[in-house]
Amino acid sequence: MYQINFHHPSNAFFIGIGGISMSGFAELLHSLGFHISGSDIMESKITEHLEQLGIPVHYEQVRENITKDLDFIVYTAAIHPDNPEFIAAKEQNIPMIDRAELVGQVMKNYQDAIAVSGTHGKTTVTSMLSHILIAANLDPTISIGGVLKAIHGNMRIGKSGYFLTEACEYTNSFLKFHPKFGIILNIEEDHMDFFKDIDDIRHSFHQFALLLPKNGCLIINGNIDHLEEITKDVACPCVTYGLGKKCYNYTAENITYDKLGCASYDLIINGRIEERITLRVMGDYNIENSLAAIACARHLFLHIPEIQTGFSAFYGADRRFEYKGNVGGVTVIDDYAHHPSEIKASLEVAQKYPHKHLWLVFQPHTYTRTKAFLKEFAMVLSTAEHIILADIYAARELDTGEISSLDLKHEIELLNGDVSYFPSFGEIEDFLLEHCVKDDLIITMGAGNVVEIGDDLLGNSKIEE
């Protein structure tokens, strides 16, 4: 495997440079003096930002972009071997590494590298920790799989020994990382186009835990099934957190909620009440998320007032039950949930949010996930008052015709759910404009481009008062 010499900046090309993570690390290497260029299939705000930094971006992926002066190539998991640039790099014997390997090599340059893993909640906990580290003036380098207003994007380049990133299990990419502190938020079935079954997924998370050094720490949700299978043979201390009747190192008691469903609670560390914590985000799952962040912060020797200052400035990550606006008295929320467990948690939050009627616009994400969890999706979606389905967002997959949103609609109807399907965003918007009234709540949900529906509605004044 090619090893980057960070002390002697060289010439690197990023295939798929417009990706949320790729762009951040391209910017990081650029700041270290590397000569960076790259390609993507379309122009975006991300690529415009890179160009403003002086990073050339090609908007056509052709073999001519791969020149002999390149020292190494970085590519994303979405790039296939038949990509013209990928083929050209192979033919010219230019060293190639994937994005995860790059992240892993970057992490070796930091004394305190933190990796946040789990099937759900990575972006939120990484964002919470970002606020805490910034509040403590630790000047961290941060990579987030979304946009965080506090750092004006998805990457913050600091000058200290602190590095914070999300660690995704898909294709086992997080096994190429080199963290000192690791967080495991939950372990559930997902990405079944790669993993065989839940045991295969659990094995990967165990391997991730084994990466941690003796002087590090594993922070793990104490409610994970058969926890000892994940923590066995781990070299470092293991710290648990969670809600419920089990004994955890970090837990919450005497939980109360404000009128928007944001929680306050007594923080309990090793059975002792430490402090009253107040959050600016909604949902019981965010109490658990905050406990994970607190446990990590405490092992970085941060104090409760610094942690609370970070929480006080955190109103949620981009696209995580995000308030988008209000039009005609109708509130529009956008949420990234695309797994049955995530949808369930978001709908529980929605029930506590002030509204007359709830309209859930759901865009399934990938054909394999929709097929694997069809009945689970139907079960949880049917609990919403009104469901509107968009077509499946393909992402990295091809439509084989085996599954569609109409199949999901049929399953929801079997459960007596109030469900509609429309093949275009325009038809969905027209339907909402016709049926929504003042004090209703619209949630656009999914990991694709369903957010565009809410944005369009907020620019429309036809909703009745």
pLDDT band at 134 (very low <50, low <70, confident <90, very high): very high
Statement: residue 101 has pLDDT above 70: yes
pLDDT band at 271 (very low <50, low <70, confident <90, very high): very high
For the record, the structure tokens of 361 come out as 């616009």
| Average pLDDT over every residue of 224-241 | 96
pLDDT of residue 349: 82
Q: Could you tell me which residues come within 8 angstroms of residue 374 by beta carbon, excluding any fewer than 6 positions away?
A: 403, 407, 408, 411
Residue the block writes with tokens 């009234």: 437
> Parallel, antiparallel, or unpaired for β 153-156 and 96-98?
unpaired
For the record, the structure tokens of 15 come out as 């295939």
pLDDT of residue 169: 86
Statement: residue 465 has pLDDT above 60: no
220: burial class by Cβ within 10 Å (0-12, 13-18, 19+)? buried
pLDDT digits (tens, 9 = 90+) for 292-321: 999 999 999 999 999 999 999 998 766 777
For the record, the structure tokens of 381 come out as 């979606």
pLDDT over 70, % of the chain: 98
Higher local confidence (pLDDT), 325 or 293? 293
Higher local confidence (pLDDT), 317 or 30? 30
SS3 21: helix
pLDDT of residue 461: 53
Q: How many CA atoms lie within 13 A of 234 on its CB side?
A: 26
pLDDT digits (tens, 9 = 90+) for 373-388: 899 999 999 999 999 9
| Average pLDDT over every residue of 331-336 | 90
CB atoms within 10 A of CB 28: 20
Provide the b/e sequence for 104-118 (b: ≥16 CB within 10 Å).
bbbbeebebbbbbbb
Statement: residue 210 has pLDDT above 90: yes
pLDDT of residue 378: 95
